[in-house]
Each structure stands twice: as structure tokens, then as C-alpha cells.
Structure 1
Amino acid sequence: MLRIPSDRFFARGVAALTLAFAANAAHALTVFACEPHWAALVRELAPHAQVRSATHAGQDPHHIEARPSLLAAMRQADVALCTGASLEVGWLPMLQSRSGNGRVQAGAPGMLMAAEFVSLIDPRPGAGGSPFEGDVHPEGNPHFQLDPKRMLSVAEGVAKRLQQLDPARRDDIQRRWEAWSADWRGRIAQWERKAAPLRGMRVAAQHTTFAYLWGWLGIEQVADLEPRPGTPPSAAHLQRLLEQTRAVPPRAVVVATYQDARGAQWLAERVGSGVPVLQLPSSVTDDGPTATLAGLYDQLLDRLLAVPR
């Protein structure tokens, strides 16, 4: 069940935006996406929209500078789509406040948090109150873009909100959502058949970036290179991991493309012969085989399946 706010502020906002777009049916929605996977999703559902991604796949979305160019984009946005679950807490509120754009303030109909549409793993109520805790999210792990089933739920929620905000294109968005969701469900079935050999695979990884991917595929993360969330691997922590995993080495050591791979390389070289370091994308890229959501999943599976047994 989609959780769409029903308070009076939200209802008035939807009505106001609906009237504005109805008065100018030729107006294309301007969408500010906090991460490139959300930009890619909006382009699938509403290709007429003008979409700007605040970040790229080579950046850590926890730590982004609220640059003037992002502030300008936020000022112009009709809609903003972000992850939520405190992923962007270090920079999104500043952009919202300084933009002065009422359409994308917290609680406004044009401000969408993808986390509203899914359940999250590993919630930590009360956490995140101290900078010494690192990148801890009390709501739960925000990296759910790497679970295709949760992506389906997000896409449905986003499609419904876009239909509310752009009634002139309601039918077109509905058709695109239905076609995309049917194709996506078929891809999920194909991916799961293809990935069957990965079930039970043991990996070490940095952070919990790929936790949803591991859960979907049945992969076990046996070690985290970070001594605490968001903190780079230390020599002492890596030494402890080496002692813990040497008897039964992981098949691979995994980091995201935006993470420094030196700690992973140190562990892989010592934990067992031939253990590879995989730098995997966690979001879509501007070009190449991971430039689409489907291509991102294809690449992730291909890279994991290529790891020697």
C-alpha cells in the first residue's frame, strides 16, 4: 500500500500544482533527483520531464557539497525525488531551505522520498545522534535501489505522484508505468534464474551499500571493512578481519566505485590466494553498460558471476 500524505497542507499543495499545470499543459515537469538512479527512473516514467541529477555514480551520496549549481536547480524544480531515510541529511535540507522553493519543501507534494514507498532493513531507532557514530540511519538502510523488487514499489509510488502533479499527462504516465513494470517483473524473473549460482556466496564488503543486493541474491556478507559506518578501514580493523576470515576466506572483497579500494586490496592480497577485489557500481552511470537501471543490474550480476568458485 502506497503511503501518500493526506494532511491539509499536502492536499492544498496537490490542488495548487494541479491547477498550475492544467493551465499550462505544455509545461514539462522539472525534476531534481538526488541520485542518478532516481533520475533514470523518472526518465522511464516521464520522458517529457526535464531531469537533473544532483550526484553521479562516482560520488558518495552521504557526503555532497551543497554547491550553487545544485541550489539553482532546486530553485527551479517542480518536483524533487530523493532517497530519504537520512541519506541526504547532510546536504538536502540546506538546499531546501536556501532555495525558497515551496514546491520541494518537506511535506510538500512535490517533495518525494523514495523510502516512503518501501520497508527498510536494519532500522536503528535513536541512532545517528552523534557524529562519532558515522553514517548511521535510524530509519534503516537507505541503499534499497539495489533491490529490484523494492524498485518496483518505488516506481509505482513515483508514477502515482507524477500523475497527480501532471494531470495533462496522466494517461501517458500510466501507460509507461504499466509497460515498464511488466518488463521489470520479467527481468526480475530472468535475473533470479541467472543468479541462482550466487546463492550462499560469501563476501567481505565495505559499508552496507550492497546489503539489499546480497539479501535478494542470497549472498552472505561475512565482514565489513569499516570499523563503524562511514569510517574508512583502519589497519587494526583490517588485521582483525584477516584473522577472522583467513580460515574460510570470502570469495571476493567488494567496494562501491566511489569508495577507496586500498583497504579491500590489502585484505584480498592476504586472506587467500586469488581472492579478487570487485569495485561495483551502486547507481547508474552517464554512459556505458550501466547507463540504465536494467543495465546496472545486468552488470552487477555479470561481475559477481565471473568471480572464481
Structure 2
Amino acid sequence: MKKFVLVVLAWLVVQAPAYAKLNVFACEPEWGALTRELAGDAAEVFVATSALQDPHHIQARPSLIAKIHRADMVVCTGADLEVGWLPVLLRRGANPKVLPGQPGYFEAAAHVPLLERPQRLDRSEGDVHPQGNPHIQTDPRNIYRVGQALAQRLMEIDPEHAAHYRVRWAAFSTRWQQAMQHWNALGAPLKGMPIVTHHKGWTYLVHWLQLNEVATLEPKPGIPPSSAHLQKLVALLKVKPARAIIRAPYQDPKPSEWLSAKTGTPAVVLPFTVGGTPQAKDLFTLFDDTLARLRKAAGVGTP
């Protein structure tokens, strides 16, 4: 019997993985994709939301609480993007490793310069974020900044595999910088392109490509457009024509399609994050597809 037990134990040792994978809870698809790029098979990554969900408004479901409870690391945007649901998950998840202030809690927005910091806080102004606009993932330069900080944090909380994360960051960094050169070249003809956006979710894309955001469908952030506001936009676009009306996949298509029908301005869906379109399968194809759709709307030929 003793010999049998020893054989079973030896078999279990052989079958066990070489190391326990890091358990990562990512709030949005872009951070799940970035973590997978940097960690590879060293981490098991769960993504709490999809590209078809508004990241402002997520239900704190029991299944998400269970995932947070088991997580070694939480990777989220921060800047109050998840303020309506993440604090509830953290509180009910009862996992001290991933609470704010701990190494296991990582906010991407803390590592980039935030735009559109409000001059005053007034809820009558709509869905205002006190720290600035949180939709940082639409600028590839921000992905690079966050990636550098996230790789360092992975090494900190999982020092046993620091060399693995270091190698993967170096490879990703090289590929990303090469891709950014390509994207900058593709985006150069779009400089000054007038666009209408559904929500103030494209601020960093506008800043990166130097687009001209002439109007938004929402009269104030998070406030659905009224008929009166849409009529004003029709009048505005007669004076200042736009090349595209842009929305994210999770946003109501009716306002942009109505305005498109009235003005002849194409309504364009951009992926916004990984999985937002069939083409945007990862971080690299996210920007490939974003630029391809913008160039098509602008009438720019194939490079």
C-alpha cells in the first residue's frame, strides 16, 4: 500500500504544472488583451466586460464577485470609469490582495496623462469624471505607457517569473513601436478630418490623429440626444460638414443613423476596444481596423 501511495504522489508531481498561473481579473477587453501579451501562459486572464457593453454601467453579478475573490491581480482603467460597479465587487469579493493601494490592484489611467479634466464638478453637466476622460485606450501611445507599467507590476507581484515578463515586454515593445510608426503614417492624411462622435469616448483618438471633433450626439456626456439637439446638429453640419459620425459598438445606433440620413454623413462604427468588430481580434488589429475604417470614411485610398 505504501508503495502504491508513493507511486500516486510521484504521478501527481509529474502531472502538476511547473508553476501556478497568476490569476488576473481585467475590467475591460483592452487590458485583458494587454495582460495576455505580457504574461503569455504565465497568467490566466478573465475579462469582466465585452466590447458590446458600456464599461460605465456593469452589474456587480455574483459570478464577477467570485472571480475577484480568487484573483491575484486586478487590472482596470480607473479614473472613475468603473466607479459604478468595481468598488462593489472589491468590497464583496473580500480579497485583500487586490484592494486599492495593494500591488495586486493596477489602474491603467494612473500611468498616462489624462485629458479633459473638468474645471468644476457639477452633475448637471452629465457623466463628468473628476480625474479626466478615462477612455485612454483609443491612443496607441497610451497602450505603450500602460504596458510598460503593467510589465513592471507583473514582475513585482510574481518575482519568480520576472525574467519571463521582462522578455515578453521587450518583444511586445519592439512590435508595438514598429506598429505605431505604421499607424502614424496611415493616420497622417486624416489630420484635421471633421467628425461627429456619439459620446466623449474618442478624445484620445482625436488627440492622437489630430482629428476635428465638430460635435457630439450627446448634448452632455451620458445624456441621450433629444430631438431638438439632433435638429441643431443637422443645421450645424450644413455649415460645418463632417466626414463621419462615429460611435462605439455598444452605443445606440439610432441617433447616428438618423443624423446620417438627414445630412448624408456616413455613420461609422469603430471597434473602440478589442472585439468591437470582427477584425479587431487583438490590440494590433484594433488599431489596424480603426484606421482602415477612418481612412475609408475620409476617402483615403489603400496605402
- Compute the TM-score of the two structures, normalised by the length of structure 1: 0.88
What are the superposed Cα offsets for residues 53-87 of structure 1, whole Å, 9 maximum, x if unpaired?
Answer: 00000000000000111111000100000000000
Deviation at 1:126, TM superposition (A): 4.8
Which residue in the other structure is 1:234 paired with?
A: 226
Task: Give the Cα–Cα distance (whole angstroms) in 2 for the partners of residues 194 and 94 of structure 1.
Answer: 42
**1:87 is aligned to 2:85:** no
Which residue in the other structure is 2:109 paired with?
A: 115
Alignment of 1:149-168 (within 5 A): 149-168=141-160
Partner-residue secondary structure (3-state), 2:116: coil
Structure 1, 186-195 or 286-295: larger mean CA deviation: 286-295
**1:291 is aligned to 2:263:** no
Partner-residue secondary structure (3-state), 2:239: coil
Q: Which runs of 4+ in 1 moved over 6 A?
A: none
Deviation at 1:25, TM superposition (A): 7.4
Q: Among residues 24, 35, 40, which one is paired with 1:42 in the alignment?
A: 35
Which residue in the other structure is 1:257 paired with?
A: 249
Asked whether the equivalents of residues 29 and 273 of structure 2 are also in contact (C-alpha less than 8 Å), the reply is: yes
Which residue in the other structure is 1:141 paired with?
A: 133
**1:180 is aligned to 2:164:** no
Q: Among residues 73, 98, 105, which one is paired with 2:99 in the alignment?
A: 105
Asked whether the equivalents of residues 270 and 276 of structure 2 are also in contact (C-alpha less than 8 Å), the reply is: no
Deviation at 1:284, TM superposition (A): 0.3
User: Is there any run of 5+ residues in structure 1 with no aligned partner, and where?
Assistant: 1-23
Task: Give the Cα–Cα distance (whole angstroms) in 1 for the partners of residues 91 and 119 of structure 2.
Answer: 26
Task: Give the Cα–Cα distance (whole angstroms) in 2 for the partners of residues 251 and 262 of structure 1.
Answer: 18
Which of these two proteins has the greater Rg computed from alpha carbons?
A: 2
Q: 1:267 to 1:287 in 2, by over 3 A?
A: closer
Task: Give the Cα–Cα distance (whole angstroms) in 2 for the partners of residues 248 and 97 of structure 1.
Answer: 49
Task: Give the Cα–Cα distance (whole angstroms) in 2 for the partners of residues 38 and 125 of structure 1.
Answer: 29
**1:214 is aligned to 2:210:** no
User: Is there any run of 5+ residues in structure 2 with no aligned partner, and where?
Assistant: 1-16
Q: Among residues 284, 287, 291, which one is paired with 1:301 in the alignment?
A: 291
Asked whether the equivalents of residues 194 and 212 of structure 2 are also in contact (C-alpha less than 8 Å), the reply is: yes
What residue identity is the alignment partner of 1:122? E
Task: Give the Cα–Cα distance (whole angstroms) in 1 for the partners of residues 290 and 174 of structure 2.
Answer: 21
Which residue in the other structure is 1:19 paired with?
A: none
Task: Give the Cα–Cα distance (whole angstroms) in 1 for the partners of residues 193 and 167 of structure 2.
Answer: 39
What are the superposed Cα offsets for residues 221-274 of structure 1, whole Å, 9 maximum, x if unpaired?
Answer: 100100110111111111111112212311111111100011111111112x3x
Partner-residue secondary structure (3-state), 2:130: coil
Asked whether the equivalents of residues 249 and 276 of structure 2 are also in contact (C-alpha less than 8 Å), the reply is: no
Number of equivalenced pairs:
282
Which residue in the other structure is 2:52 paired with?
A: 58
Deviation at 1:291, TM superposition (A): 1.3
Deviation at 1:289, TM superposition (A): 2.1
Q: 1:164 to 1:25 in 2, by over 3 A?
A: farther
Q: Could you tell me the percent identity over the aligned residues?
A: 44
What is the Cα-based RMSD across aligned positions, in Å?
Answer: 1.6
Partner-residue secondary structure (3-state), 1:135: coil
